[in-house]
Amino acid sequence: MMLDIRDLRVSLPTERGLLNAVRGVDLQIARGQTLCLVGESGCGKSLTATSIMGLLTRQAQITTDRFEMAGQDLTRKPAAGLARMRGRDVAMIFQDPTSALNPTLTVGRQLTEGVMRSEKLSRRAAEARAVEMLERVGISNPAARLAQYPHGFSGGQRQRIMIASALMGRPKLLIADEPTTALDVTIQAQILQLLGELQADLGLSILLITHDLGVVAAIADDVAVMYAGRIVERAPARDLFVRPRHPYTRGLLAAIPVPGVTPRGSALPAIPGRVPGLIGTLRGCAFRDRCAQAAPDCAADPVPRHGIGAGRFVECVNPEEAST
Q: How far apart, in whole angstroms, are the C-alpha atoms of residue 19 and residue 280?
A: 6
Taking only the tens place, the pLDDT of each residue in 183-200 is 778 888 888 888 888 898
Above 70 in pLDDT, residue 18?
A: yes
Residues whose CB is less than 8 angstroms from the CB of residue 70 and which lie 6 or more positions away in sequence, other chains included: 2, 89, 172, 173
Q: How far apart, in whole angstroms, are the C-alpha atoms of residue 202 and residue 211?
A: 26
Taking only the tens place, the pLDDT of each residue in 52-68 is 888 888 899 999 999 98
What is the phi/psi pair of residue 66, to 5°?
Answer: -150, 135
Residues whose CB is less than 8 angstroms from the CB of residue 29 and which lie 6 or more positions away in sequence, other chains included: 1, 2, 3, 35, 173, 205, 207
User: How big is the chain by its Cα radius of gyration, in Å?
Assistant: 21
**Helical (H) or strand (E) element with 241:** helix 237-242
CA angle (110 as vertex; 45, 162 as ends), nearest 5: 40
Residues whose CB is less than 8 angstroms from the CB of residue 266 and which lie 6 or more positions away in sequence, other chains included: none
DSSP letter for 57, please.
Answer: -
The predicted structure's pLDDT at residue 80: 64
DSSP letter for 279, please.
Answer: B
Taking only the tens place, the pLDDT of each residue in 193-250 is 888 888 988 889 999 998 888 889 889 999 999 999 999 999 999 999 999 999 999 9
Residues whose CB is less than 8 angstroms from the CB of residue 32 and which lie 6 or more positions away in sequence, other chains included: 199, 203, 204, 205
In this structure, what is the dihedral angle of CA atoms 172, 174, 175, 178, given to the nearest 10 degrees? -170
**Cis peptide, bond prior to residue 179, ω within 30 of zero:** no
Taking only the tens place, the pLDDT of each residue in 296-315 is 999 988 999 999 877 899 99
DSSP letter for 267, please.
Answer: P
Write down the pTM of the prediction: 0.89
